[in-house]
Amino acid sequence: MPMKPARVALLPLLVSTLLLSACQESEQAEQQQQQQQTPTVGVVTLKAEHFLLPNDLPGRTAAYRIAEVRPQVNGILEKRLFEEGAEVEEGQQLYQIDDDVYQAALKSAEASSISTRSLAERYGILVKENAVSQQEYDEARAAGLQAQAALDEARINVRYTKVLAPISGRIGRSAVSEGALVTSGQSQQLATIQQLDPIYVDITQSSREMLNLRRDLEAGRLQKAGDNAAAVSLTLEDGSTYSEQGSLEFSEVSVDEGTGSGTLRAVFPNPDRLLLPGMFVHSELVAGAKSDAILAPQQGITRTPRGNATAMVVNDENKVESRDVVTERTVGNRWLISSGLNDGDRLITEGLQYIRAGASVNVEPAGNVAEPAAQ
């Protein structure tokens, strides 16, 4: 049966529609496949910022001078003449030891000295008249000198019954009370005096960190407080800032062979006695500033087997570039970059395991990087 003319006319149109639909589906499938093959990475756009170079050095306070008060003669302790915890001055009497025995010894030494000196003087006259021998005169003179030495020792012992403060500072509690027997060779001190103004802050650092600090000082990146000292501020245990500025000395530094670390010593004024020995503090060097510092998230910096730092960035063509970078130090969760990254670079921090240099990528803001704290 012959086909009707209308059906014959619709046949080419139907075929064209089917072919067009098949082509569109093929193009959509190809685009979907390409999108599936192009990985998506999370990026952080780097910005140059003003940044103060931090040098946080933990340490402990130590007294500027320490003196242990000890008896130099034996005897019964009669009096304590200071208030525990008070400030004492150098030469101030702290204790009184019973001096009766030493006063008696002094009087005996004075009498012996007078007798021997008088005998030596008489022998001096008689030896000129050959009434006594030269040997007898020499022995009389020697006895006189021995008597004088005994007299001097007796006077010293009487003076030592007054126990005086060897330095000025704050005295602690008394380890003995009135009526106690003290001896010149005893191991226990009577009390301890500590000079608290100024006060030391001892900082333990590795030898590498100490070398970096010295280079920073010589290069002018640290504010100086002298020929060989850096200005330093102090943060207390409660987070407050200490009002006085100190100086970090580098002149007397020794490195422990076992640990490879050494102790730096900072000196701080302490007029109000706010700092006490043994306190844990943080000292911060007054460092220079960088107006165009690049701080990169640590998630975007990787290390090669040789330890070299590298980073992956996305260029203007949405292709991956590998960069060799030089890191200076960590700042929180970021690296301070010396070279290799610039202002405006899009640093990849997510999806690094799916990409390689030269590959095309889709980008989106990184979700694994927290906002940095304000400087």
Instruction: With a cut of 90, say whether residue 320 has pLDDT above it.
Output: yes
For residues 316 and 357, membership in a common domain is answered with yes
In tens, the pLDDT along 251-268 reads 556 787 888 888 888 899
Cβ atoms of 98 and 71 within 8 Å: the answer is: no
For residues 150 and 218, membership in a common domain is answered with no
Cα separation, 180 vs 191, in Å, equals 14
How much is the pLDDT for 99?
Answer: 94
Distances (CA, A) of 265 to 43, 59, 285: 44, 9, 13
In tens, the pLDDT along 155-201 reads 999 999 999 999 999 999 999 999 999 999 899 999 999 999 999 99
Boundary-marking domain end, from 240, 264, 289: 289
Q: Cis ω on the peptide bond leading into residue 198 (within 30° of 0)?
A: yes
The answer to whether residue 119 is domain-embedded is yes
How much is the pLDDT for 146?
Answer: 94
The answer to whether residue 30 is domain-embedded is no
Q: Residue 345 maps to which CATH number? A: 2.40.420.20
For residues 201 and 261, membership in a common domain is answered with yes
Mean confidence (pLDDT) of the chain: 85
For residues 303 and 279, membership in a common domain is answered with no
For residues 300 and 279, membership in a common domain is answered with no
Instruction: With a cut of 90, say whether residue 343 has pLDDT above it.
Output: yes
Positive or negative: CA dihedral 364, 367, 369, 375? positive
Q: Residue 128 maps to which CATH number? A: 1.10.287.470
Q: Residue 273 maps to which CATH number? A: 2.40.30.170
How much is the pLDDT for 191?
Answer: 96
How much is the pLDDT for 1?
Answer: 46
How much is the pLDDT for 181?
Answer: 94
DSSP 223-259: -EEETTEEEEEEE-TTSPBPSS-EEEE-SS--B-TTT
Q: Which domain holds residue 355?
A: 40-51+290-365
List all residues 6 or more positions away from 52 whose beta carbon is below 8 Å from its beta carbon: 287, 288, 289, 375
| Element at 312 (helix H, strand E) | strand 309-314
Boundary-marking domain end, from 160, 187, 206: 160
How much is the average pLDDT of 233-240?
A: 89
The residue assigned the tokens 């012959």 is 2
Length of the chain: 375
For residues 240 and 317, membership in a common domain is answered with no
Instruction: With a cut of 60, say whether residue 30 has pLDDT above it.
Output: no
In tens, the pLDDT along 266-319 reads 899 999 999 999 999 998 876 666 778 899 999 999 998 888 999 999 999 999
Nearest-5° angle of CA 141, CA 147, CA 151? 145
How much is the pLDDT for 9?
Answer: 53
| Number of domains into which the chain is organized | 3
Instruction: With a cut of 60, say whether residue 6 has pLDDT above it.
Output: no
| Residue in 44, 42, 50 with CA at minimum distance from that of residue 333 | 44
DSSP 343-354: TT-EEEEE-GGG
* One-letter identity of residue 153: E
Task: Report helix, strand or coil for 129.
Answer: coil
pLDDT band at 91 (very low <50, low <70, confident <90, very high): very high
pLDDT band at 374 (very low <50, low <70, confident <90, very high): very low
Boundary-marking domain end, from 251, 272, 289: 289
In tens, the pLDDT along 348-361 reads 999 888 888 999 99
How much is the pLDDT for 159?
Answer: 96
For residues 348 and 282, membership in a common domain is answered with no
In tens, the pLDDT along 120-168 reads 888 888 888 888 888 988 899 999 999 999 999 999 999 999 999 999 9
Cα separation, 116 vs 112, in Å, equals 6
Regarding pTM above 0.85, the answer is: no
In percent, how much of the chain has pLDDT > 90? 51
For residues 274 and 207, membership in a common domain is answered with yes
Nearest-5° angle of CA 150, CA 153, CA 155? 110
The answer to whether residue 226 is domain-embedded is yes
Cβ atoms of 83 and 173 within 8 Å: the answer is: no
Range of weakest confidence among 93-97, 201-205, 245-249, 285-289: 285-289
In tens, the pLDDT along 34-82 reads 455 789 999 999 999 887 766 778 899 999 999 999 999 999 999 999 9
Long-range contact list for 28-36, CB < 8 A, 24+ apart?
35/362
